[in-house]
Chains A and B, each alone.
Chain A
Amino acid sequence: MKIKVTGYYKQWMRDKGSMTRNRWIQYVAKPIVFAACLIPLVILIIKALTGHLGANPIEATTRSMGDWALRFLLITLAVTPLKHLLKWDWLIRFRRMLGLFAFFYACLHFLSYAGLDQFFALDEITKDVIKRPFITVGFTSFLLLIPLAVTSTNKMIKRLGKRWQPLHRLIYLIGIGGVIHYFQLVKADTRNPTIYAIVLAILLSYRLWAKGIQNKRAGYKYDRLKIGNLPRPSSKQP
C-alpha cells in the first residue's frame, strides 16, 4: 500500500534538511503550543467522563469554557507587549493561533450555554440576550469575535490590507466586554473578575503608553525633518 504524503507532512519532509528557526517554529513549537492549548478541553472531557464535574456538570462546563475563552483572550493581548518588552519578535507568530483558541473556547462556552443549559430553546435564548444585561454583553462580545476569526487567514489579511488592523482592534472592546460579562455574573465575590480586569487594564494601558512614546518619537522625527528642510543659515552672511 502506498501512503499518500500530503500537505503539512510533505512540506516538513521537504524542509527538514535545514532546520532554521523559522522551520523550528513552524514544525515543532507551533504543534506543541497547539496541543497545549487543547489541554483545558481534554481535562474537561476526562472530568466529564469520570464524573468529576461535580453536582452540576453543565454549569461547570459552561464556567470552565468561559474562563478559558477569557484567559486566551488575555494571553493573545499579552503577545504584543511581551514581544516589545522581551524583544522576542518570534512571539508574534503565535498570536493568530492563540486568538483563534480564544474564539474556539468562546464557541464552546456559547454552545454549552445554548445547547446544554437552554437546550437550543431559541425563544429562551432570545429572551435572555435581550433581557439580561450579562448575556447581552457576553453574546455581543462573542459575535464581535466572529469577524476577527473569519479575517484571520493570510488571504484575508492581504485582501483587507490597511483595514485589517483597525478591524482587529475590536479585540480591545471584546476583552472589556468579556470582563464586564464576568463581573455581571457573580453574586457577591468579585475577586476573580477583578483579577481579569487588572490584567486587561495593564495590557491595554501598555498600548496607550507605547502609542504615546511612538507619537513622541514620530513628532521628534517630524521636527527634525522640518528643521532639515529649512534653508540652512549661511555662515557667509553679509
Chain B
Amino acid sequence: MLIKIKTNLDIPSSEITDKKLYLNRREFIRAASMAAVTAASGSLGSDLLMSDTVQAGEKLEGVVKGPYSTDEKPTSYTAITTYNNFYEFGTDKESPAEIAPKTLKPRPWSVAVEGEINKPAVYHLEDLIPKTLEERVYRHRCVEAWSMVIPWVGFPLADLIKRFEPTSKAKFVEFTTLYDPEQMPGQKRAILKWPYVEGLRMDEAMNPLTILAVGLYGEVLPNQNGAPLRLVVPWKYGFKSIKSIVKIRFVEEQPMNTWALAAPDEYGFYANVNPEVDHPRWSQARERRVGEFFKRKTLMFNGYAEQVAHMYANMDLRTYF
C-alpha cells in the first residue's frame, strides 16, 4: 500500500499560485517594466543579446524610449506571442508558439549582407546590434484584417544600412528568412516558396519608422515572433515584416516577395495598409484590434501617413497595392 506522508516539501495546492493569476502578474510586471523604460544604466540590453545562451523572455536592460511610439494600449503579451502568422511553423495561429520555442535555435546566428554595397560580409548577429536599443510601440496591421499594438525593442534599419555603405546601384533591399526544415518544420511542405523573401524600396528601408526588432515588451524576442532578428515596417501589412532574417541583399531591381509570388493578384510588393484598396476576398476598410469586440476603422498607412505618405506621392496605390 502506498502511503503518502505529508512533508514540509509538499506545497499544498491551495498555496500554488493559480496559473491565470501568475500569468496576470507576469503581464503586470511587463506593463510596469514598460513604464520604467529608462535611460541606459548598468549592463545594456545589447550585451545580453550577444550571449549565446540568451533565452526568449529575458529582460533587456537599458532600453531607451524611441520616437514615433503610439500611446494606445499595447496588446497583451500572451496575445502577441500566441497568435502568430509564421507559416514556417504551421499555417494556423497557434502552431508557431507551440513549435518555434522547441525547434528554432536563434543563437548563434549570422546574417549574410551582400549585393550593391562596399562592405559585403557575413556578420555575427552581435556585430549588427547597436549598443543602444530603442522601444517603439507600433500599431501592427495584418492583411487578414486584425491588428495589435506591439511594444517592440529594436533599432533603426537606416543606421545599419549606412554602415554597409550601399552603392548608387542599391535601389532595393531584399531580406531572406532562414531555410532549415529541421528548425522550421513548416518548410517541409511547399505551402509557400521557401525560403520566405521580402523586400523594401531603398527609401522605405531608410525611413526612420523602419526598424529591426530584437525584443518585445522589454524582453528578448520569442522565437515565434521572429527571433533573433526581424523587420518591422508598421505602415505595411504584417507579411512585409519578415522574421528570422539570415540574409540582407542590396539590389538594383525590385525583388520578388513570397506572398506576391504565391498570389500576385492578392498581395503586392508595396502592401501599404490602405482602407480604400480591398483585398480581393475581403474588405480592408475595418479591422479587429485583438482583444477588442468592435471593429475599428483602418487608417491610411496604418496611421503613419505623416511619416510615409510623401514616398508614394505620385503613385497610384491601386496599381501598386
How many residues of chain B have a CB within 8 Å of chain A?
A: 27
Mark contacts of B262-292 with chain A using CB atoms, 8 A cut-off: 1 yes-contact digit, 0 otherwise.
1100000000000000101111001010110
Q: Does A15 contact B (CB under 8 A)?
A: no
- Report if A56-B295 is in contact (Cβ < 8 Å); known contacts: A124-B283, A133-B281: no
Q: Does A119 contact B (CB under 8 A)?
A: yes
Chain B residues near A127 (CB-CB < 8 A): 283
Chain B residues near A117 (CB-CB < 8 A): 288, 295
Partner of B291, one of A55, A132, A185, A187: A55
Size category of the A interface is 20 to 34
Q: Does B83 contact A (CB under 8 A)?
A: yes
Mark contacts of B175-194 with chain A using CB atoms, 8 A cut-off: 1 yes-contact digit, 0 otherwise.
00000000000000101100
Chain A residues near B192 (CB-CB < 8 A): 188
Q: Does A223 contact B (CB under 8 A)?
A: no
A22-79 interface (Cβ within 8 A of B): 54-56, 58-59
B217-232 interface (Cβ within 8 A of A): none
Are A55 and B78 touching (Cβ within 8 A)?
A: yes
Are B94 and A189 touching (Cβ within 8 A)?
A: no
Are B295 and A189 touching (Cβ within 8 A)?
A: no
Chain A residues near B263 (CB-CB < 8 A): 187-188
Looking at the assembled complex, report how far the CB atom of B208 sits from the nearest CB atom of chain A, in whole angstroms.
Answer: 30
Give the A-B pair count, Cβ closer than 8 A: 54
Are A189 and B191 touching (Cβ within 8 A)?
A: yes
Q: CA–CA, A56 to B283, complex, Å?
A: 18
Chain A residues near B83 (CB-CB < 8 A): 54-56
Are B288 and A58 touching (Cβ within 8 A)?
A: yes
Q: CA–CA, A189 to B85, complex, Å?
A: 12
Chain B residue nearest to A63 (CB atoms) is B92
Are B93 and A189 touching (Cβ within 8 A)?
A: no
Q: CA–CA, A51 to B87, complex, Å?
A: 25
Can you give 22 A-B contacts (C-beta < 8 A)? A54-B94, A55-B78, A55-B79, A55-B83, A55-B93, A55-B290, A55-B291, A56-B146, A56-B288, A58-B288, A58-B293, A119-B294, A119-B295, A124-B286, A132-B283, A134-B281, A187-B263, A188-B91, A188-B191, A188-B262, A188-B263, A191-B189
**A-binding residues in B (CB < 8 A):** 78-79, 82-83, 87, 91, 93-94, 144, 146, 189, 191-192, 262-263, 278, 280-283, 286, 288, 290-291, 293-295
